[in-house]
Amino acid sequence: MIDVYYWTTPNGHKVTILLEELGIEYKVVPVDIGKGQQFETEFLAISPNNRIPAIVDHQPTGADQPVSVFESGAILLYLAEKYAQFIPTDTPGRVKVLEWLFWQMAGFGPMLGQNHHFGFYAKDKIPYAIERYVKETSRLYGVLNRQLKSREYICDTYSIADMACYPWTVSHARQQQDLNDFPEVKRWHDQMKSRPAVERAYEIPEKMNLQGGISDEAAKILFGQDSSVVR
Ligand SMILES: N[C@@H](CCC(=O)N[C@@H](CS)C(=O)NCC(=O)O)C(=O)O
């Protein structure tokens, strides 16, 4: 059994998409980040960065104690390797998936996250910051569009790279991006959206009655953190 410490955000969806694609048994443990549950001691023991997602694998291969993993990219890689799916085993194929997984983790996710922050969540609308992240988002969508020109999926086969990127494209309108400007991304996005496993992953919040969104109270918890929260 895998426990997935989860909230209804792009990084949370990545992991439930993979778990649904794998068709394995898992338990969702909600961590309401708007209420500060990411700072609870039990959660910090498995996710020291006070961020979702994280998992605990109670039946790890080659270990007799449960294994915990934090960071969505590490989780995708851990599960893909454990179940030998959604990452090729040949070296060139594997390297391609790692490149695009790390591209998402180091660029596409963080930049689009800043785009959401300055363009949507921040009360103080700072034109320079908004323009900086909207433009960088546009550049990154352009990179993805070019990669998808000759392929159905981001790499040669459907992989954890697609599962890492897709949830961040769901909010393209909020990011001030028009998918018609990126026809290959649009085609891929629509194809991803209609995968049954992806549909099931996106049904979880409603099924579990998890309220996403960021209230004023939640914004105070989420957007004012400094080193005092990790002491
Ligand atoms: N690099 C991390 C980022 C995780 C992350 O930023 N998670 C957000 C939700 S998408 C979170 O838990 N925020 C809680 C907080 O800011 O305190 C990953 O990919 O797992």
My answer on whether 102 and 50 are in the same domain is: no
Task: Report the separation in Å between the CA atom of 51 and the middle of ligand 1, taken as the mean of its atom positions.
Answer: 4
Q: Which residues of 131-169 are buried (b: 16+ CB within 10 A; e: fewer)?
A: eebbebbbebbeebbebbeeeebbbebbbbbbbbbbbbb
Please report, for the domain that includes residue 114, its CATH number: 1.20.1050.10
Please report, for the domain that includes residue 76, its CATH number: 3.40.30.10
Provide the terminal-to-terminal Cα distance of the chain, rounded to the nearest Å: 32
Mutational test site, ligand 1, from 51, 114, 120, 220, max ligand atoms within 8 Å of CB: 51
In a domain, 198, yes or no: no
Residue nearest ligand 1's atom 19 by CA: 72
> Which residues line the pocket of ligand 1, CB cutoff 6 A?
9-11, 33, 38, 50-53, 71-72, 222
Nearest to 121 by CA among 13, 219, 10: 219
Task: Report the separation in Å between the CA atom of 90 and the middle of ligand 1, taken as the mean of its atom positions.
Answer: 31
My answer on whether 158 and 213 are in the same domain is: no
In a domain, 141, yes or no: yes
Residue nearest ligand 1's atom 5 by CA: 51
- Residue 60 has what pLDDT? 97
- Residue 230 has what pLDDT? 81
My answer on whether 72 and 130 are in the same domain is: no
Domain hosting 170: range is 91-193
My answer on whether 27 and 64 are in the same domain is: yes
My answer on whether 61 and 140 are in the same domain is: no
DSSP 47: -
The reported pTM is 0.97
Overall number of domains in the chain: 2
In a domain, 49, yes or no: yes
In a domain, 99, yes or no: yes
In a domain, 105, yes or no: yes
Q: Are 28 and 4 in contact (CB under 8 A)?
A: yes
Structure confidence by residue, pLDDT tens digits, 97-156? 999 999 999 999 999 999 999 999 999 999 999 999 999 999 999 999 999 999 999 999
- Tell me the longest C-alpha to C-alpha distance in the chain: 53
My answer on whether 113 and 176 are in the same domain is: yes
My answer on whether 112 and 189 are in the same domain is: yes
Per-residue confidence in pLDDT tens, the chain, 231 aa: 999 999 999 999 999 999 999 999 999 999 999 999 999 999 999 999 999 999 999 999 999 999 999 999 999 999 999 999 999 999 999 999 999 999 999 999 999 999 999 999 999 999 999 999 999 999 999 999 999 999 999 999 999 999 999 999 999 999 999 999 999 999 999 999 999 999 999 999 999 999 888 998 999 999 989 999 887
My answer on whether 105 and 187 are in the same domain is: yes
My answer on whether 136 and 160 are in the same domain is: yes
Task: Report the separation in Å between the CA atom of 53 and the middle of ligand 1, taken as the mean of its atom positions.
Answer: 7
Task: Report the separation in Å between the CA atom of 197 and the middle of ligand 1, taken as the mean of its atom positions.
Answer: 22
My answer on whether 109 and 180 are in the same domain is: yes
In a domain, 95, yes or no: yes
In a domain, 200, yes or no: no
Task: Give the separation between CA 150 and CA 96, rounded to whole angstroms.
Answer: 14
My answer on whether 12 and 106 are in the same domain is: no
Task: Report the separation in Å between the CA atom of 221 and the middle of ligand 1, taken as the mean of its atom positions.
Answer: 13
Q: One-letter amino acid identity for 38? A: Q
In a domain, 135, yes or no: yes
My answer on whether 81 and 95 are in the same domain is: no
